[in-house]
Amino acid sequence: MFMHEAIVAATFCKNIVLEMSTLMPHHVREVLSHVPSSRVMIGSDLPESMEIEIGKILTLEISDLDKRNILDQTACAVFGEGC
């Protein structure tokens, strides 16, 4: 809903990390064209939708490094637990 505003905020504030739940795959690619994958993470508003959210990232035509960052490394950097 506020994807473009989030991109602007993340562009100017380097401590902002974006979470991608509810975005369509083409929107995720748009975010990644402005914000590095090291500041993007997967998320879900419901446990039941995690499979869809993970699948969305796994099937995107982005680098393996971007996928690894979104699915794991960004959260590890933010939360620092279990990594």
Say what the pLDDT of residue 44 is: 83
Say what the pLDDT of residue 45 is: 78
The domain tally of the chain equals 1
Say what the pLDDT of residue 81 is: 72
Instruction: Going from the first residue of the chain to its last (83 residues), give the mean pLDDT of each consecutive group of 10, the final group possibly shorter.
Output: 92 95 92 97 87 94 97 93 72
Q: 4-7: which pairs have CB atoms within 8 A and are 24 or more residues apart?
A: 6/31, 7/31, 7/34, 7/35
Q: Which domain holds residue 55?
A: 3-79
Full-model pTM: 0.89
Among 36, 24, 81, smallest CA distance to 63 is for 36
